[in-house]
Amino acid sequence: MAMMIDSLLCTACGDCESVCPTGAIIPHKGVYMIQADKCTECEPDHDMPQCMNACMEDGCILPAE
């Protein structure tokens, strides 16, 4: 599974991009997006996705459906 960014909530601050260990977060149309094929949800190295820890917008980064 991968994480996803809600483009309506993303403020394009870039905090998530800098903490992503796989480089899965990239700028896209003025906000950020997570490339599902690169996202590992930071497993097995971390207990939770680092992008979620870095994001200041509640509900912006969620597990992909």
Give per-residue pLDDT as tens, 14-63: 999 999 999 999 999 999 999 999 999 999 999 999 999 999 999 999 99
Asked whether residue 1 carries a pLDDT value surpassing 90, the answer given is no
CATH tag, 3-63: 3.30.70.20
β pairing state of 25-28 and 3-5: unpaired
How far is residue 57's CA from residue 14's CA, in Å, rounded to a whole number?
Answer: 12
Query: What are the boundaries of each domain within the chain?
Result: 3-63
Q: For the residues 10-14, what does the mean pLDDT come to? A: 97
| Structure tokens given for 17 | 């991009």
pLDDT score at 58: 96
pLDDT score at 5: 98
